[in-house]
Amino acid sequence: MADLRKRSGKGTDLDTETENEAANQDSDINADIDSEDDKSIGKKIDLSSTIPTGTDKAPEILDATLAGLSPRWRNWFIRGIFTWVMIGGFALLVYIGPLALMLVTLAIQVKCFSEIINIGYAVYKIHGLPWFRSLSWYFLIASNYFFYGESLVDYFGVVDNRTEFLRALVKYHRFISFCLYIGGFVWFVLSLVKRYYMKQFSLFAWTHVALLIVVTQSYLIIRNIFQGMIWFIVPVSMIICNDVMAYMFGFFFGRTPLIKLSPKKTWEGFIGGGLSTVVYGLLISYLLCQFPYFVCPIEFNEELGKMTLDCEPSPLYRPQEFSLPTSFTPFVRMITGKDTVTIIPFLLHSLSMSIFSSVIGPFGGFFASGFKRAFKIKDFGDIIPGHGGIMDRFDCQYLMATFVNVYISSFILTDSPQKLLTRIYTLKPELQLELYTTLRDSLTARGILQLHAP
C-alpha cells in the first residue's frame, strides 16, 4: 500500500531547501522530513546521497518522447506506463504458470532484502566493517535454503525412488539448515572487531528483521500458490485495487484527513477504496472460480514427473446450496423464491480477504512510510521508473500474504489421505499394522465400514 500520489517530479536532493519549496505543492514527504526535529535522533542522518531513491530516470526512448512535458506530467506518464508494464508482466506470469510466479517471487524477495540491507549499510556507514555484506547474503541464502526446502520436502514428498543423496537432504533438511545458520552465527562472532561492536550488532539485528519480513513472508506466498493460483492472484490484485481506488476516491472526494503519518490519505479514499475492493474481489473471484487452472492445487505428479494443475475443482469453488437459519427463511423466500441460497463458498472467503486488505492492509503502507521517514529516505530504491524501489510496491503484499496463509490453514486446509499415507508409510511395519487395526475397528464401530468377514 504505497501511496500512489506522493511522487513529484523531484530528484533525490531532499536537503536542498530551495528546491523543496518549489516542489512542495505535491510532495508532502519532503516537507515532513524537513520539519522533523532532528535533535531527537541525536544526529542528522542524510541517506539521500547513499540510497538511490525514486528518480524519473527512464529508458532513453521514453525520455526523448516525453521531452516536451513539464517534470510533473513527465513523472505522471512514466509512472502510469510502468504501472501498466507491471500489471501486464503480472498477467503474463500468471499465463506462463505457477513456477514462473514462484521464481519471480524469489527474485523480488532477493531485491527487497537487498534494498533493506542497503539502507542499514548507509545508516551505519560501515566503511571497512569486516564481512558485513557477505554475512547478510549468507544468512539470506541459508534461510532460503531452509524455507524453500521445507516447501519442496512437503510437496514433492516421498522421494524414495530418487538417489540416496536426495533422500538424506530431505530427511536431514532441518539439521542441515540449522548447521548453515550456526555457521553464519560463528562467522559473525569471529568477525567482531572492537571498534565496531555496536554497529555490528545493530546490523546483525537489521539483517534478522529483514529476513523475518522478506524471507519468511515470501515463503508464505509460495505456499499460498501451491494451494491454487487463485489464492495468489486474488489477494495480490486486491491490494493493487485498494491502492489505486483509494487514490481515485481520495482525489475526487477527499476531505477528511485519515492519519498524521500520511497527511494526504483521507477517510473518503479509505472507505471508497475499501468498498471498491470488496466489489472487485467478488467479481474477480467469481471469474477465476470458473477455471480449473486457477483453483486446482499444484501437485507433483509422480507418474508424469512434473507439477500439474489438473483436478476436479473442490466444492469450495462450485455453487453450493446453503439452508439458512429458519428466522431468515421468510426473507430469503421473498427475494429468491426458495428456502435456500446458492453461493460459491470461495466468495465468502474473498469477502474476508477484501475486508482485511482494505482495513488492515493500509497499515502496512503506513508502517513502510513511517520507516522511510525514520531514516529520511524517499523510496527504498530506484529500480522501477516513477515508482521507487521494489519494496515500495510490495510493502503491503507481505502482510496480506501472511493473512492469507493463516486464513488457509485455519479455515480451508484439511489433511488429505495422500499426505497422511505418506507419513504412515514412514512408520515401522508393526506400527503400520497397529494403526490399520485401530482404524478398522474405529470405522466399523462408527458404521462407516462393513466387513465381509466377521
Site for a copy of itself in 354-413 (CB under 8 A): 360, 363, 366-367, 370-371, 373-375, 399, 402-403, 406-407, 409-411
Among 49, 308, 323, 442, contact with a copy of itself (rule: CB under 8 A): 442
CB 140 → a copy of itself: shortest distance, Å?
16
* Closer residue to a copy of itself, CB minimum distance, 91 or 435: 435
395's enclosing H/E stretch is helix 390-407
* Chain residues 43-62 in contact with a copy of itself, contact rule CB under 8 A: 43, 45
Q: What is the DSSP string of 186-215?
A: HHHHHH--GGGHHHHHHHHHHHHHHIIIII
Neighbours of 222 (CB within 10 A): 23
Pick the closer one to a copy of itself by CB: 55 or 352. Answer: 352
User: Rounded distance, CA 233 to CA 224, Å?
Assistant: 10
Q: Which is nearer to a copy of itself, 62 or 153 (CB)?
A: 153
Q: Residues 134 to 173: which contact a copy of itself by CB under 8 A?
A: 171-172
Q: Which positions from 277 through 296 interact with a copy of itself, judged by CB under 8 A?
A: none
Among 31, 86, 282, 424, binds a copy of itself (CB under 8 A): 424
Nearer to a copy of itself among residue 258 and residue 344 (C-beta): 258
Residue type, 329: T
Residues 6+ apart with CB under 8 A from 376: 14, 33, 36, 45, 46, 47, 48
Rounded CA-CA distance 419/413 in Å is 12
Q: What angle do CA 10, 11, 12 make, to 5 degrees?
A: 130
For residue 409, the minimal CB distance to a copy of itself (Å) is: 6
For residue 270, the minimal CB distance to a copy of itself (Å) is: 14
Residue 343's SS3 state is: strand
**Interaction with a copy of itself in 208-247: which residues (CB under 8 A)?**
208-209, 212
**Count of chain residues binding a copy of itself (CB under 8 A):** 81
The angle at the Cα of 321, spanning 318 to 323, to the nearest 5 degrees, equals: 150
Q: Residues for the chain: how many in total?
A: 454
Q: How far is the CB of 84 from a copy of itself (least distance, A)?
A: 31
- Name the DSSP letter for residue 411: I
Q: Indicate the DSSP class of residue 415.
A: -
CB of 355 to a copy of itself, least distance (A): 13
Judged by DSSP in three states, 318 sits in: coil
Residues from 250 through 279 that contact a copy of itself (CB under 8 A): 259-261
Q: What's the min distance (Å) between Cβ of 382 and a copy of itself?
A: 22
Q: Which is nearer to a copy of itself, 229 or 404 (CB)?
A: 404
Given candidates 308, 323, 342, 426, which one binds a copy of itself under the rule CB under 8 A? 426
* Residue 305 vs 429, nearer CB to a copy of itself: 429
Binding letters toward a copy of itself, positions 166-205, x by CB under 8 A? -----xx-xx--x---x--xx-xxx-x-xxxxxxxx---x
| Shortest distance in whole angstroms from residue 232 CB to a copy of itself | 19
Binding track over 301-330 against a copy of itself, x by CB under 8 A:
------------------------------
Map residue 174 onto helix, strand or coil. helix
Between strands 320-323 and 306-308, the pairing is unpaired
DSSP notation for 113-148? HHHHHHHHHHHTT-TT-TTHHHHHHHHHHHHHHHHH
Q: Which stretch binds a copy of itself (CB under 8 A): 39-47, 288-296, 318-326, 341-349?
A: 39-47
Instruction: Name the burial class of residue 11, with classes exposed (0-12), middle (13-18) and buried (19+) by CB atoms within 10 angstroms of its CB.
Output: middle
- Specify whether the CB–CB gap between 263 and 6 falls below 8 A: no
In this chain, which stretch among 49-57, 219-227, 268-276, 437-445 interacts with a copy of itself, using CB under 8 A? 437-445
Place of cell 503480472: 90
Q: Which is nearer to a copy of itself, 10 or 372 (CB)?
A: 372
d(CA 285, CA 93): 18
Nearer to a copy of itself, 284 or 296 (CB): 296
Of 271, 245, 235, nearest to 349 (Cα)?
235
Task: Using the minimum distance from each CB to a copy of itself, give the nearer residue, 83 or 224.
Answer: 224
**CA 408, chain centre distance (Å):** 15
Q: Given candidates 22, 41, 103, 107, which one binds a copy of itself under the rule CB under 8 A?
A: 41
| Nearest-approach distance from CB 208 to a copy of itself, in angstroms | 6
Angstrom distance (rounded) from CA 418 to CA 150:
18
Residue whose CB is less far from a copy of itself, 123 or 229? 123
Terminal-to-terminal C-alpha distance of the chain:
64
